[in-house]
Amino acid sequence: MSDMQMTDIRARFNISYGNFKLDVDLTIPGHGVTALFGPSGSGKTTILRAMTGIERFAGTYLAINDEVWQDDAAGIFLHTYKRPLGYVFQEASLFAHLNVRRNLEYGMRRIPEAARRVSLDHVVALLDIGHLMARQPEKLSGGERQRVAIARALATSPRILLMDEPLAALDPKRKEEIMPYLQRLHDELDIPVVYVSHSPDEVARLADHLVLLDGGKVVGSGATAELMTRLDLDVAHGDAASALVSATVVAHDAEYHLTSVEFSGGRLLLPQQQATIGQSVRVRIQARDVSLSLAPQCDTSILNIVAATVTELSADAAGQVMVGLDANGTRLLARITCKSCVAMDLVAGKSLYAQIKGIAILK
Ligand SMILES: Nc1ncnc2c1ncn2[C@@H]1O[C@H](COP(=O)(O)OP(=O)(O)OP(=O)(O)O)[C@@H](O)[C@H]1O
């Protein structure tokens, strides 16, 4: 076992707080972004805290890639201050008496030079905060403060970055501003991120892997695109339910201001994007934006119609059915009325056409 290259994060926690019990045994990828998603009180923050070692919980096992940080059975416990992790909270906790540069250097200085794997210049460029270096924290906007907090966490060359609802305190405009930085961080740094969120939108945009929590238990863990369309899970139901589709940008149509992308099920047109031809993109198709038809329609304003097969049907809100679809290997969801479902005589295996009204490129 010891000479085996481990590239996973393994976490086993058994924690009791009065009536609340957290009992999880997780293996998640040692790279990319993993979102912990679930209702309030489901144990998301408790998992992050347990990873920090701030409290020592009996029966814990925690290994980050090839490093075991805690194994109670073997008597291993790495103290918090020795765990190379970055932690970003909902509200940026910068040192108020230090300017931005000193805040960043403070984190960096704790790390011996030989252990530094991320340069300050790289972090500053990544989060675009070069122009803020001389500012005091109280003179930063909420979004800027959060970018500095992320930079400070990264400047310590962590082996893992823990983020606890880092956008929750920001208004929608600031959230939108900071999102590209989080996506860049994901693309450019090889540091695994565990990201706590309540927001299906953040999860869809950022997470490669998703861990669904409820009442201190894991109810699902897997690739985000796969879990979001699993009809046995709550996340694939309701108004926010959507499919994430991997696609490639294939053309721009300047005359009609459209961009076309290709996925396994065919081509999709969407309002013109900045993306370059050949670029891989993640596209979101919301279940409520998909209608179904048994014959291909040509007298319709809907541009995107793809052939698909029904894989399963599941009751949704009153009078609504969530239909799972397979479009030549890509999972899609359609939320339709029970009345239409009966009228169309939908059953698993039926071939039909999905008419897609709204599509968004997420990254
Ligand atoms: N230090 C503590 N002492 C006692 N109970 C705690 C402690 N920390 C958390 N809890 C309880 O554990 C449960 C899970 O809390 P946790 O903060 O992990 O949930 P969460 O999923 O992060 O919720 P939210 O989305 O609201 O932040 C809650 O019932 C909470 O009251």
Domain's final residue, options 197, 227, 257:
227
> Residue 234: inside a domain, yes or no?
no
> Residue 235: inside a domain, yes or no?
no
Same domain, 88 and 218: yes
Same domain, 57 and 194: yes
29-55 pLDDT, tens per residue?
998 999 999 999 999 999 999 999 998
Distance CA 147, CA 165 (A): 13
Same domain, 58 and 180: yes
> Residue 236: inside a domain, yes or no?
no
Measure 85 CA to ligand 1 centroid, in angstroms: 21
Q: Are residues 281 and 329 in contact, defined by beta-carbon separation less than 8 angstroms? A: no
Number of structural domains in the chain = 2
Confidence of residue 281 (pLDDT cuts 50, 70, 90): very high
In this prediction, residue 252 carries a pLDDT of 94
CATH number of the domain enclosing 52: 3.40.50.300
Is pLDDT larger for residue 90 or for residue 101?
101
Domain's final residue, options 177, 198, 227:
227
Is pLDDT larger for residue 176 or for residue 222?
222
Which residues have a Cβ under 8 Å from the Cβ of 337 and sit 6 or more positions away? 319, 320, 321
pLDDT at 2 over 50: no
Measure 76 CA to ligand 1 centroid, in angstroms: 26
> Residue 269: inside a domain, yes or no?
yes
Same domain, 150 and 44: yes
Same domain, 277 and 338: yes
Same domain, 132 and 204: yes
Confidence of residue 299 (pLDDT cuts 50, 70, 90): confident
Residue nearest to atom 2 of ligand 1 (CA): 17
Measure 60 CA to ligand 1 centroid, in angstroms: 18
**Ligand 1 atom at minimum distance from 46 CA:** 18
pLDDT at 236 over 50: yes
**Lowest mean per-residue pLDDT among 4-8, 217-221, 245-249:** 4-8
The ligand 1 site (C-beta within 6 Å) comprises 17, 20, 38, 40-46, 198
- Under DSSP, is residue 180 helix (H, G, I), strand (E, B) or coil? helix
CATH number of the domain enclosing 314: 2.40.50.100
Average pLDDT, the chain: 91
Measure 72 CA to ligand 1 centroid, in angstroms: 23
What is the domain extent for residue 158? 8-227
Distance CA 284, CA 304 (A): 14
Residue nearest to atom 28 of ligand 1 (CA): 41
> Residue 232: inside a domain, yes or no?
no
Residue nearest to atom 7 of ligand 1 (CA): 17
> Rounded mean pLDDT of 160-184?
87
